[in-house]
Amino acid sequence: MCDNLPLNQRLTVVTVMLSVFVLVAFFVFGHACYRIGLGHSRQAVEVEHIRSLELPATSNDVQPLIPSAYDNAGMESED
């Protein structure tokens, strides 16, 4: 965007933008230090522990939909 500007104007624009950025950064840092000095950083943090979920009781009698050709030992049946 600055390609069409003469060199002096380009330097002025960049210098002004950098100055504004530095002033805002100093203001934010100073305001944070001021709030720490007032004691606002000592606000109590309330810790809430995660509660366990109530899971429904399930039975472990899962039956396969398709009977397999293998028995419980992993051997192929003779049928």
Quick one: pLDDT at residue 22?
97
Which amino acid is residue 53, in one-letter code? L
Quick one: pLDDT at residue 27?
97
Helix ranges (DSSP H) in 39-75: none
Quick one: pLDDT at residue 72?
64
Which amino acid is residue 51, in one-letter code? R
Which amino acid is residue 32, in one-letter code? A
Quick one: pLDDT at residue 74?
60
- From residue 68, how far is each of 39, 45, 49, 59, 75 by CA, in Å? 70, 57, 46, 22, 11
pLDDT averages per 10-residue partition of the chain, 79 residues? 83 94 96 81 76 78 63 60
| Domain positions in the chain | 2-42
